[in-house]
Amino acid sequence: MPVRLFESDRFEPLWTRFLEATDPRTAANPLRPEEVVVPGGGWEAWLTRRLARERGAAVRPRCSALAALLLGVQRRAGAADRDGRTFFDVDGWTLRLAAALREERADGPPARWLAAGVGDEDALERRVQLGRRLAVLLDGYLLTRPELVEAMAAEPESLPEEMNGRFADAFAWQARLFGPLLRESGIGPAGPAYEALAEELATGEGHHPAVPARVAVWVSGAVAPAQLRGLEMLDAAGCAVTVLVLAASETYLADLLPASWFGDEEAAELDDPDLHRELPHPLLAAWGQLTRDRQKLLLEETAGERWQPQEVEPAREAAEPADRGLLGALQATIRGARPPEPGMADADGSVVVHGAGGLRRQAEVLRERLLVAFDELPGLRPEDVLVLCPDPEAFAPHVEAVFERPVPGQAQPLTVHLSGRSPRRERPGVSAFFRLLGVLGGRAEAPEVLGLVADPAFATPGMPDAAGAAALGADVGAAGIRFGFDAADRAAEGRPADATHTWEAGLDRLTLGTLLPPPEGGRLGEPVGSVVTLDRAERAETLGALAGFVGRLHAACAEADEPADARAWSARAVAWSEGFLAEGFDDFGRAQVREAAESLAEDAEAAGLAEDLPLSVWSAELGRRLDGVAGGGRFRTGGVTVCEPAAAAWLPHRVVAWLGLSDGSFPRRTPEASFDLAAAEHRPGDRPAAAVDRSLLLGSLMAAGDRFLVVFEDRDTHGDPRAPAAVVVELLEVLRTLVGEEHADAVSPVHHPMHAFSPDAFDAAEPGRQGVEPEMLAAAEALVAGRRGDAPAVAASGDAAAGVEPVTEVPLRDLEDLMCRAWILRLRALGVGADFADAVPEAEDPQELDALEDWQLREALLAHGLGGVGAEEARRRLAAAGRTPAGAMGDRVLGRLAAEAEAVAAAVERAAGAGGLASFAPLTIEAEVDDVRVAGRVERVRPGLHLHATSSRLKAKRRAAAWVRHVVLAAAGEGRRGVVVGRPEAGPGVQTLDLAPLRPGEAWEHLGVMLRWLERARREPLPCDADVAAAFPKDDEPRPSDIEAALARFHEAPGSGQPAAADGPDVKLAFGDADPMRLEDAELGNLQAAMARDLWGPLEACLRGAAEGASS
């Protein structure tokens, strides 16, 4: 029976033929699964679901790629040894070629390329990388360039005529490299091999046992001539072969293309005017290269008796249904291969391009548009939606985070499946094993080791739970552990053989801490010398388990540092998997690792690659093998599918969306190797990466039933505009033509603001970008209300106050923020944004301290000094805790900071007077104004004086903190003189500020003003900035030039690479594009000026009064 060939530009007619070809009632053995060849990994789940729905039973076809099916037939037919060693395999030949490259002549191009490596390990890694590129290249030659393979395998090698010129040198060294291996293995071109096997398997009746009784072959992309020979081989062996070709258009495109698209001979044949009627559809011209190649190949290669092209469906009327809007009109013109005409359709939202900045924002926009589609399209289910993403690994964490949010009005989120990902990303056991390899190949950095300890995959008796892991991390940080196991490990890194900050030294300190009693009069957790005392009952078992784990890790790292052959690495992989991963944890994933390691060892032995491999080379090759196996993020049903385009682009879905079609990311711009001999002449069956991507985009457009969406990155990280991918621009041009120039704006890209809660995301004039999240809408409404600077006071009822309860308790921190960055109070009331989390243990010795670390060290030295700890002892403790760089650099840093801290401490002692610091005690204060309770703590208070000490410079923020406490103390009936000691705003030395005592009435008045502004600040973003307010003129009639100078400070960068205050993310979040320094109030005028007078004027008056009193 000849091969039956069906081709259609619609899926449903082909589906009908597929059902006929796989009808179980006509099967020789109905219990055996149907053999189906599919173009991508997503087809099996889709076919299974639809077959079960239509046939009413759980029918699971056995799906495979065409190459895998044909290879299986060859092996079962005994065309080679059963282990398949004489068949071409990219993974195995990667190692064969890497071994052969070791002997490549020094003057050859590969040798010169390899010489660019640094060191033996790098040279070996480059050999393996080049071996893989060459293996992929040879695989293509075997499929599409049989004459090249035969010429290379011949002795002596013969140079094909088309290889003259610029390809002659490349052919010479490739023949020198490939020839001996081809002759040794007996591997030849795929096409002749299939033809020879067809003669062996030919039967008079029935089918050969090596082939299935029947097979259905779905085709949507390029087809090579050799693959057609393989299908003929199946037919010759008695297999009933049905080929189902999905095309964007059944029109033979060679009849329509201009002569410039062909070679000279082909162009001469097109002189007939009946052939060259008109140009095709622009998208067929731009995206249809593989379609045109396949049409030409099938026309030429399927004319023999082994092929039987058949009619798919009765001839249909030329008119297309007009009720599918823009998407339907676009698909109709493509199917008819005719140019789009102006005004053929309206912009109905069935094809929309969206632009958004950043990966996460693109994922948010996609989710919003899908939720809109579920509302607008009756009966739409999650499994009816397909999302294609050129880079799913980059988008995966963002998609997972965004789609976890519940759907508005429902308790559950929208189910989404990230499908087709590598087991390294999806199988817990595989992922855990590669995390372990990362630590073994690293420097045992504290965060990485603690990450393994806290991971359930590495559960070990005695290890803490999640809560205990956080406490253990704090202990490790307190012990100063940074990286390295011991001094010898540091020395192996090329650093001084110093055990400081290593695991050995840190664990010794922690163990000693469990043995020491607390300091006299103190409690556990306080240091004795440089050792923090710990509760032995709570910590001993955990520290013992940690020491054991670190010890095993140290031994494994030492083993991993020693290169070995692939067989030894396989044994190590098994030992590490069993020794570190928790018993019973993802046994399937661990088995995948063992199988991949064993396969790598067998291939290395077969390739003669006997040299020892470093961990980096072995793990990289192991990862590549695992990336190509099934069992990771499998394609599932019952949710929105997100996958790479090749997996499912041509499968029909009601909604098809593309995520990440940004300029430079799609289509792929993989440069052809300069030594790719196939580049000398393009032939049908070739698969250039860019042409493949364009074909997938074309197929997905034709497969969309109701809606086709595209999301691209329209702004980079700096906010500068970015263009979409070139294919998106081509699509937009066609859409503009279809709707007509007068409606072109309706199909232009919809640009979304940077944040989902931006007011622009809910602009009624832009329905195409309106958000759907109620909480985001509430935040946007509140921000809009806060920007209306011409309203007298937005603290009144209305949208601005929505969701904000009246304040009843105010911590001192809120009053400080009111004076220093008032807009934070509004964001805090909305629950937008978050404070910085506690820092994780550092992974490295501090080499150069930034401003924050500088301040932290100086404050610690000051605290030690004021606590009675001597300067030398304080410096020793900080060094032992890993707070400073080791060696001479640490001595210099500590010397500088200690001198500054000691000067401040001496000034504090002088300010304390005769009673000394021992006469001060902390005081909890509380004041109540109009049913609002203000509470906090002042650290150093005694009768008649409160004292504040800091090693920081006494800039506006420090003065504001002291002033808030000064006012609340007086309002609570604890009024007294205040003294603030610190470093001056500029230059060396020490500065002391005096705050004159306040009368209770004054304090109540000042505190009342603060609370009124605070209540307003919780309802609208207010602009009070500490540095601007401190510089603002407080006169009744300040000069405009003085006001402008003060306001300009907000937009000036402070230096040291820091951005201006106006560019801070909290400012952008609160005010958007508005300039907060220019906000006006109808009654108060400029809001910054009003707040400076009300909040900072009394502080400066108090400071002046104290100065005048001291001078008099």
Measure CA 478 to chain center.
Answer: 32
Each domain of the chain, given as residue ranges in start order, spans 3-80+192-248+288-313, 90-186, 326-421+634-751, 422-441+564-629, 443-560, 851-904, 917-1111
Nearest C-alpha neighbor of 365 from the set 760, 725, 761: 761
pLDDT level of residue 107 (50, 70, 90 thresholds): low
User: Residue 800: pLDDT above 60?
Assistant: no
Chain segment 254-278, per-residue pLDDT in tens: 665 554 444 445 544 544 444 444 5
**pLDDT at position 956:** 87
The arithmetic mean of pLDDT across residues 2-29, rounded, is 89
pLDDT of residue 676: 85
pLDDT digits (tens, 9 = 90+) for 88-104: 888 889 999 998 888 76
Helix/strand/coil for 1058: strand
Residue 602, classed as helix, strand or coil, is: helix
| pLDDT (average), residues 746-775 | 81
Name the β-bridge partners of 995.
978
What pLDDT score was predicted for residue 838? 34
The pLDDT, as a whole number, for residue 170 is 83
- Which has the minimum average pLDDT: 152-166, 308-322, 654-668? 308-322
**Domain range 3-80+192-248+288-313, its CATH number among 3.40.50.620, 3.40.50.10930, 3.40.950.10, 3.40.50.2020:** 3.40.50.10930
What's the pLDDT tens digit per position in 384-405? 999 999 998 889 889 988 988 8
- Which residue, chain included where needed, has tokens 């610091």? 917
The span from the CA of 770 to the CA of 758, in Å, is: 10
pLDDT at 537: 61
Per-residue pLDDT, 352: 96
Report in angstroms the alpha-carbon separations of 449 from 205, 436, 464, 497, 572.
66, 9, 14, 21, 20
The answer for residues whose C-beta is within 8 angstroms of residue 735's C-beta and 6 or more apart is 326, 330, 347, 351, 747
> Per residue in 927-981, pLDDT tens?
888 778 888 888 888 888 899 999 888 888 889 999 999 999 988 887 889 999 9
Q: Do domains 326-421+634-751 and 443-560 have the same CATH topology?
A: no
The structure tokens listed for 1001 are: 């009435």
Does pLDDT of 750 surpass 50? yes
Determine if residue 418 is left, alpha or beta; phi over 0 gives left, psi from -120 to 50 gives alpha, anything else beta: beta
Q: For residues 136 and 770, which has the higher predicted lDDT (pLDDT)? A: 136
- The string of pLDDT tens digits covering residues 1039-1061 is 677 667 777 778 776 654 456 77
Q: At 616, which helix (H) or strand (E)?
A: helix 615-627
- As assigned by CATH, the class of the 326-421+634-751 domain is alpha beta
Q: What are phi and psi of 796, to 5 degrees?
A: -70, 175
**Class assignment of domain 443-560?**
mainly alpha
**pLDDT > 70? residue 231:** yes
Of 399 and 838, which is predicted with more confidence?
A: 399
Chain mean position to CA 812: 39
Question: Does residue 865 have a pLDDT over 50?
Answer: yes
Q: Which of 407, 232, 218 is nearest to 305 (CA)?
A: 232
In the chain, how long is the greatest CA-to-CA distance? 123
pLDDT score at 804: 65
Best CA proximity match to 429, nearest among 595, 275, 555, 293 = 595
**922 burial type by CB count under 10 A (0-12 exposed, 13-18 middle, 19+ buried):** exposed
Highest-confidence segment of 52-66, 474-488, 801-815, 884-898: 474-488
Residue 53 has pLDDT above 80, yes or no: yes
> What pLDDT does residue 643 have?
92
| Segment 398-439, tens digit of pLDDT | 998 898 888 877 767 888 888 877 778 778 899 999 999 999
Instruction: For residues 645 and 699, give the distance between their C-alpha atoms in angstroms, rounded to a whole number.
Output: 10
pLDDT per position as a tens digit, 699-726: 999 999 999 999 999 988 777 788 899 9
- Least confident piece of the model among 20-29, 461-470, 958-967: 461-470
Average pLDDT taken over every residue of the chain: 81
